[in-house]
Structure 1
Amino acid sequence: MKRLYSLHGKTCVILIGLLASAELCASVLSPQPKAQWFPIFNGKNLEGWTPKFAGYELGVNYKNTFRVQDGYLTTNYDQYDEFNFEFGHLFYQTPYSHYKLRATYRFLEQQLPGYKNAWKNNGFMIHAQPPSSMSKEQRFPVSLEVQLLGANQDTDSRPTGNVCTPGSHINIGSEKITKHCVLSDSATLPGEQWVDVEITVRGSEQITHTVNGKEVLTYSNPTLDEKHQNLSSLYGSATMQSGFIAIQAENSTVQFKSIEIMPLSYVQSEKEDQ
């Protein structure tokens, strides 16, 4: 098992006999382009991505929920009669530590009744645990969620680019935040308009969300919560310095026009060098 914290600029440590995160340091093994955007969604198929649905084995794309339609990566529920908490996540194949991620997305009309908590709700999971380490029934990976919300009208007051923390905690300034979600400063974006979101991730030092060109939220020091300290061997410590990227499926119909990543250079801090 290779430790998550080892990405981009550190030496990976392989712990023989542990299997859950064998892929976590893959991005170190070959040079990554720097200061350059490149697509991680090819507009044609789901190559490079692997689904994981609650109640199903890794790799099962339950009811073809994740698909490419008209060139868009789409979460589609037209094969469902109802939603029974089959939460899904589509994992990109490579873990990252220091990078920028940007995407253009929009919400379409809601397809399924019930479970109002996830109405026009999607998100990018970052610093996520390896999908291979999730249990079959597990609903959400331990991660940080860049929560994307839609609305019917401006008066709904539903900002997007929020942060939620399944299995984790964060700091905002010097304050440790243990509540599940923190709202961003973004405007409510109703209807089916396209929205640009960008996430700048610098290991555990700072993470910034930007919506339509405006910085809306900054936080730091993501750590495993008290219930998930057993995953510290995957991250190298309780601090979450790197991990996988995943897209949610929570019963909302969402289209992603583009998804791109820019790996950033890793600069070792004086504290880490001691």
Structure 2
Amino acid sequence: MPLWLAYRFTHIRLMRQLALLLTCVLVTGFCFGQARPKADQWIELFNGKDLTDWAVKITGHPLNDNYGNTFRVQDGKMTVNYDQYKAFDEQYGHIFYKKRPFSAYLLVVEYRFVGNQVAGGPGWATRNSGAMLHGQAPETMGLQQDFPMSLEMQLLGGDGQRERHTANLCTPGTNVVYQGKLFTPHCVDSRSKTYHSDQWVHAEALVLADSLVHHIVEGDTVLTYSKPQLGGGNVQGHDPALKKDGQPLREGYISLQSESHPVEFRRVAVFDLAPYMNKPAELAAVLRRLRTRK
């Protein structure tokens, strides 16, 4: 058997094992219980004090120009603010955890929307933010680039009246396989509950390299897709040489959005699953423990 074919066969077999394990853990809550997980590998991306480990990129501004003091720490929370803006003017922003990219992980964000949208913000961006997964490095973004090429776990707040799901998927410069087919539209709705007013919401993204991704809200898996890859549109101002359509997304940077509505994050943390990716039984045990943690 040629080496490339042997690798492909091994990769496919491993991905099938991971799919089975995730089904066991996320649906039934248990499986392969004989393996014991190692010590916790939680990384608190936000330290509750400052933005030392973060890089800011706002459309139309160079890297680390935190225009209008958009991103700041207040009362132990990472906050997105517009009190120093006259108008939004499509100045979409992202704050990146800059220390390292991640490949396989469980991301946890606890967020809430507050206050009113800044003048000039688009209607669709009311009570709208997001956690960007597998994103390009912040230093590779163009000056006028609006969004990093990434997978967006879109965070939406209710308006007190209509149903508005959260932890949806949007795909700036990317595509995924959804329900067995290559998904090329920009966004797909989750099946989450609607969270109105300024209540805190606990959202998670379980990302396993370039295989499976689950969006989870308050313990409920609300969206599943697979095979994230570069492709599609919905990103502007990027370097075309970096967008190699069809290239699998195996890792990338995590960032949070500023899209014209104030939002607060009280926790941003990652459990690193990369050490378990070639050890299915251990991975299952770790996921089971994470699934049942208090």
Q: Deviations over 1:105-159 (max 9, x none)?
A: 1000224133112110000011101111111010111000000000121x41110
Counterpart of 2:78, as a letter, is L
- Closer/same/farther in 2, CA of residues 266 and 232 from structure 1, 3 Å limit: farther
* 1:173 Cα deviation after fit: 2.9
Counterpart of 1:215, as a letter, is T
Matched, 1:124 2:134: no
Matched, 1:77 2:87: no
Residue in 1 aligned with 2:177? 171
* 1:86 Cα deviation after fit: 0.7
* 1:231 Cα deviation after fit: 2.2
Residue in 1 aligned with 2:253? 244
TM-score w.r.t. structure 2 length?
A: 0.76
Matched, 1:260 2:269: yes
CA distance in 2 between partners of 1:127 and 1:186 (Å): 22
Task: List aligned pairs for 1:186-205, cutoff 5 A.
Answer: 186-205=192-211
Q: Deviations over 1:24-49 (max 9, x none)?
A: xxxxxxxxx96432311011110100
Conservation of the 8 A alpha-carbon contact between 2:54 and 2:97: yes
Counterpart of 1:240, as a letter, is L
Counterpart of 1:75, as a letter, is V
CA distance in 2 between partners of 1:226 and 1:189 (Å): 30
Q: Which stretches of structure 1, 4 residues or more, deviate above 2 A after TM superposition?
A: 33-36, 226-233, 265-269
CA distance in 1 between partners of 2:83 and 2:144 (Å): 23
Task: List aligned pairs for 1:89-238, cutoff 5 A.
Answer: 89-93=94-98, 94-114=100-120, 115-153=122-160, 155-225=161-231, 230-231=241-242, 238=247
Residue in 1 aligned with 2:48? 43
* Structure of greater Rg: 2
Identity across matched positions, percent: 41
Could you say what secondary structure the match of 2:86 adopts?
coil
Matched, 1:87 2:97: no
* 1:232 Cα deviation after fit: 5.7
Conservation of the 8 A alpha-carbon contact between 1:34 and 1:263: no
Counterpart of 2:242, as a letter, is L
CA distance in 2 between partners of 1:196 and 1:65 (Å): 23
CA distance in 1 between partners of 2:65 and 2:119 (Å): 24
Q: Structure 1: state its 5+ residue gaps.
A: 1-32, 270-274
Residue in 2 aligned with 1:22? none
Conservation of the 8 A alpha-carbon contact between 2:117 and 2:127: no
Residue in 1 aligned with 2:5? none
- Closer/same/farther in 2, CA of residues 111 and 117 from structure 1, 3 Å limit: closer
CA distance in 1 between partners of 2:47 and 2:256 (Å): 15
CA distance in 2 between partners of 1:116 and 1:97 (Å): 34
Q: Structure 2: state its 5+ residue gaps.
A: 1-37, 234-238, 280-294
Could you say what secondary structure the match of 2:68 adopts?
helix
CA distance in 2 between partners of 1:223 and 1:230 (Å): 15
Counterpart of 2:261, as a letter, is S
Q: Deviations over 1:144-183 (max 9, x none)?
A: 0000000121x41110000000001111131111000001
* Alpha-carbon RMSD: 1.9
